[in-house]
Chain A
């Protein structure tokens, strides 16, 4: 068996992965929020391709974990409800990416 496949460090990294972000729909949302400063619900709906209910429930979970912040703001004199990845959310996404990279590198080809 190749050494890399049985590398326990790689598997340990997998165990440390943030499961809240790891869920595909939430990963989709967090990835989209990570490339903008902030966005409204409709923008995320269009970009992620999720259903309204799905998006709403996943956003609630992310908001509950403190990864996403909801704020009401006037943009061009129009009130908008904007969603933003918090510093904590950005850091969690960064470590998730690092962790996945490490884990997958550890697993080898």
Chain B
């Protein structure tokens, strides 16, 4: 039905416009970069700590930069459920990989060696799969490009002397740069409007 399709397009347009601020890109880029830079000094698995450290900055930036320029909307339950689905997919994939490593370490030496040999591909593939899944669900097309960057840089670490930490650093830097460009474009396109000044006065 053409009408329901149009409304779907309208909803998608509204949702995607919310992600033209580049903040998710900056978050992801900073996360990978920080993880890569601290890989030598921290335990590899502890890199996930950066998620906890950086996530509040994403929320704060959205509140300070996006809402005053684009306004605030609460999307439908269906859209919120899709977001939860991405989170569930990410958590399941991460947990699955962790369980596979732990289980193989303890009981299956053959599998353990195989998993350790291809760790770069598993890791890069996991991050890329999460991005592809999110891109497909949200319609944010640049995530496809980021997934490709991650796959290429992690594959390079697998089949060349390029170390895995450089995969994190390179893909993080590329995504960070992409996010900075998107953010600059967003700030230029949407200057703060009078409504926000009124809104800020209401806040005080």
Give Cα A52–Cα B71 distance, bound, in whole angstroms: 13
Residue A40 lies at the interface, judged by CB distance under 8 Å to chain B: yes
Of the listed stretches B35-43, B114-122, B188-196, chain A binds B188-196
Interface residues of B in 4-25 (CB under 8 A from A): 7, 10-11, 13-14, 17
Smallest beta-carbon distance A53→chain B, Å: 12
Q: Are A40 and B72 in contact (CB under 8 A)?
A: yes
Contacts of A46 in B (CB 8 A): 17, 70-71, 190
Contacts of B7 in A (CB 8 A): 31, 34-35
Q: Are A43 and B10 in contact (CB under 8 A)?
A: no
Contacts of A75 in B (CB 8 A): 72, 74
Contact with B along A58-94 (1 / 0, CB 8 A): 0000000000000000011011101000000000000
Smallest beta-carbon distance B12→chain A, Å: 9
Contacts of B59 in A (CB 8 A): 76
Smallest beta-carbon distance B71→chain A, Å: 3
Say which size band chain B's interface belongs to. 20 to 34
Q: Are A42 and B14 in contact (CB under 8 A)?
A: no
Contacts of B190 in A (CB 8 A): 46
Smallest beta-carbon distance A49→chain B, Å: 12
- Give the contacting residue for B71; candidates A35, A43, A78; CB below 8 A: A43
Q: Are B3 and A97 in contact (CB under 8 A)?
A: yes
10 A-B contact pairs sorted by A residue (CB < 8 Å): A36-B76, A39-B72, A39-B74, A40-B72, A42-B193, A43-B14, A45-B71, A52-B194, A75-B72, A75-B74
